[in-house]
Amino acid sequence: MKARLFAALGVVALLVATVMAEDKKEVKLDGIKCPLSGKAATENSVDYKGGKVYFCCENCPKAFDAKKHGTKANAQLVATGQAKQAKCPISGAKLNPDTAITVAGAKVAFCCEKCQGKVKDATGDDQIALVFGEEAFKKAGFAVEKKK
C-alpha cells in the first residue's frame, strides 16, 4: 500500500515539474537587441501581445511606448520565436518557404519572390516596417501561441 502511495506521489511530482518547466519556457536572448537602445537585451522585460519584449536595462521597460517602439517589439517577438507567422506580411497570401529571408534577426517568409524582393530592396528601419509594422504584422498573422 505504501509503495503505491509513493509511486502515485512520484507521478504527481513528475507531472507538476513538467508543467512548471513548460511555463518557464526560456527565450534565448543571444543576438536579441533592445527595441529602444539597440543594445543587447537582458531579462528586463514587459508583457506585449501575449509574449515578452526584452530590454537592455531597468529603465527601458519604463520608457517603452507600443506606438513608438511597437514595430521593433514585433520584430523581437518573431526573432525570439515567441510569435509565429501564418501568411505573407506584404500580400496576406499563403507562405512559400523557399522565399524565407532574415529581417532584423527574424526568419520571415513571403508568398512569392516579388514580395520577398520588395523587402530585400528596402534597408534599415524601412525594411523592418515593411515586415513588422502593425498592418504587416496583422496581415502576416503573426501571433504568440497561448499557453496551455
Note the helical H segments in the chain.
2-23, 59-63, 66-79, 113-121, 124-132, 134-139
The predicted-structure confidence for 128-143, as pLDDT tens digits, reads as follows: 999 999 999 999 999 9
Q: What is the pTM of this model?
A: 0.81
Encode pLDDT of 85-120 as tens digits.
999 999 999 999 999 999 999 999 999 999 999 999
Residue-wise pLDDT for 20-56, tens only, equals 444 445 899 999 999 999 999 999 999 999 999 999 9
Burial 68-80 (b: 16+ CB within 10 A, else e): ebbbbbbbbbbbb
Residue with cell 504587416: 136
Contacts of 43 (CB under 8 A, 6+ apart): 29, 54
